[in-house]
Structure 1
Amino acid sequence: MPYLLAPNDPSASFPDVGEALADPDGLLAVGGDLSVARLVNAYRHGIFPWFSEGDPILWWSPDPRTVLRPPALRISRSLRKVLKRRSFGVTMDRDFPAVINACSAPRADGGGTWLVSEMISAYRALHVHGVAHSVEVWQDGTLAGGLYGVAIGGIFFGESMFTRVDNASKVALVHLCRFLDTQGFALIDCQVLTGHLLRMGAELLPRARFVRLVEQYRDQPTPRGSWDDGAVTFPEAPAPAGTVTEVRHAR
């Protein structure tokens, strides 16, 4: 049985991630709350919340873990052409509410959404505290795609992304990887494996190895507060070449 977290005690410790269930993969704990303190504590130990409407709060740490090292992002030839056309402008933390609301839209395949209202409120609070950040991709003044996640030390924990225009989410990821690389981030946590992520350069790490990396980098200085520098960027392709296909929701 997963560990039962007491409500209204955000400082309470999570169990060791090695106690997570194998089926369902990574389920570690149930209950608690989504306060800023509890969420930061969870991410600092390689744990994240994920639950559906009507469920209790569920906490996860799957094994293995999918990660992407920012310099290792692979860019397809077609995406390089998109970047060269400079048809998308990119900002950061310019409109976090719009990004997370777009990520919460029900999926076209009828799979619903895991971003229930309680989760949206929690991540907006993290954003206000300078811990959660968004990337916005614009075309002709309209939000075309984007992503958001949580920055703890030298790890960016990717949460979700969306696209309304072909290639917009890919452009968001390119910009994020370039920014994180310049800031000395070691990893993007992608949480769950997909074929898309593997083609982008992601790799699988055993949970124990991932948690050791989190422990190594979680106290690294992180740019806190807003990442909005007031500019609109037109990212160019980084040096590594490879294949990238369309990316949708992280989960």
Structure 2
Amino acid sequence: MIPWLSDNTPFPPLNKALDDPNGLLAAGGTLNQGRLLDAYRRGIFPWYSPGEPILWWSPDPRCVLIPEQLHVSRSLKKQMRSQTYEVCFDRNFPAVIDACAAPRSASAGTWITREMRQSYIELHKSGYAHSVEMYQEGEIVGGLYGLALGKLFFGESMFSRRSNASKIAFVHLVEQLKKWGYALIDCQVSNPHLFSLGACEIPRQEFEDYLQRYLNVPHNHHWDFEPDLFRKE
């Protein structure tokens, strides 16, 4: 059994998370800004479907990407150099989360509920949540969003409307985070898409060590700009 959270109930220790399903820690509570920030700072994230209570997770192992270990295939580099596109940060956060929330197939639903959408938009307005957008001919064709706390980035979701658009946006993000001295990108749960870019799995305890070391490291950079990676002359 997992604990049911009221609005003020603290999260249980991460070692209380279930093995099956992997990482399920608690249910209930709210998605207000204080609760969400507390969750991420403890290595916990919400993930649930419409009609379910809020479910809180901390899987073991944890999928992460160390910026210096980013892998960009030769074919992806070629595509990035040959295509005409624009990548921006924080230009249109609501459009990115709406695109991520859209069903990926005719029969698929979405885990980004209306409540979750509004909560992350509020986090964006407060300077915690950020988006990366890829545009072609003025149309947004790919992107991702997540949270930045200290020198850690917590990835939430990504989308593509053109081949490899989310990968290209992710590469721009990782290269920029590398310049800013970020230590780790939390990818939460592994998949082949992330592994192809250099992600790996680490034990939960090692992930907690990253939280302790880098959550409170200050930063003085701004997000609302266009990165110059692979920009054509």
Moved over 4 A (4+): none
Distance 1:88 1:233, change over 3 A: farther
The answer as to 2:224 corresponding to 1:228 is yes
The answer as to 2:71 corresponding to 1:77 is no
Kept in 2: contact 1:153–1:218 (CA 8 A)? yes
Which deviations, in whole Å up to 9, do the C-alpha atoms of 1:44-78 show, x marking residues without a partner? 00000001101011100001000001121111111
Q: Distance in 2 between matches of 1:122 and 1:171?
A: 26
Counterpart pick for 1:150 among 133, 137, 147: 147
SS, match of residue 188 in structure 1: strand
SS, match of residue 51 in structure 2: coil
Distance 1:164 1:220, change over 3 A: same
How many aligned residue pairs are there?
231
Q: Distance in 2 between matches of 1:234 and 1:171?
A: 13
| Alignment map for 1:162-241 (pairs within 5 Å) | 162-223=159-220, 227-229=223-225, 232-233=226-227, 235-236=229-230
Which deviations, in whole Å up to 9, do the C-alpha atoms of 1:123-146 show, x marking residues without a partner? 001001000000000000110100
Q: Distance in 1 between matches of 2:220 and 2:121?
A: 18
| Higher mean C-alpha deviation, range 193-202 or range 160-169 | 193-202
Match of 2:117 in 1: 120
Match of 2:104 in 1: 107
Match of 1:93 in 2: 90
Q: Distance in 2 between matches of 1:170 and 1:158?
A: 13
| AA in 1 matched with 2:26 | A
Q: TM-score of the superposition, structure 1-length normalised?
A: 0.88
Percent identical among aligned pairs is 51
Which deviations, in whole Å up to 9, do the C-alpha atoms of 1:70-90 show, x marking residues without a partner? 121111111111121251110
Q: TM-score of the superposition, structure 2-length normalised?
A: 0.95
- Per-residue deviation, 1:14: 1.1
Kept in 1: contact 2:39–2:45 (CA 8 A)? yes
Which runs of 5 or more structure 1 residues have no equivalent in the other structure? 238-251
The answer as to 2:6 corresponding to 1:6 is yes
Kept in 2: contact 1:65–1:206 (CA 8 A)? yes
Q: Distance in 1 between matches of 2:123 and 2:50?
A: 21
- Per-residue deviation, 1:23: 1.0
- Per-residue deviation, 1:24: 1.0
Match of 1:23 in 2: 20
| AA in 2 matched with 1:2 | I
Which deviations, in whole Å up to 9, do the C-alpha atoms of 1:195-233 show, x marking residues without a partner? 222221111101111111112111111357x6113xx44
Root mean square deviation of aligned Cα: 1.5
Q: Distance in 1 between matches of 2:76 and 2:44?
A: 33
The answer as to 2:157 corresponding to 1:160 is yes
| AA in 2 matched with 1:21 | L
- Per-residue deviation, 1:109: 6.5
Q: Distance in 1 between matches of 2:227 and 2:194?
A: 24
SS, match of residue 44 in structure 1: helix
Kept in 2: contact 1:45–1:215 (CA 8 A)? no
| Higher mean C-alpha deviation, range 66-75 or range 97-106 | 66-75
Q: Distance in 1 between matches of 2:79 and 2:174?
A: 17
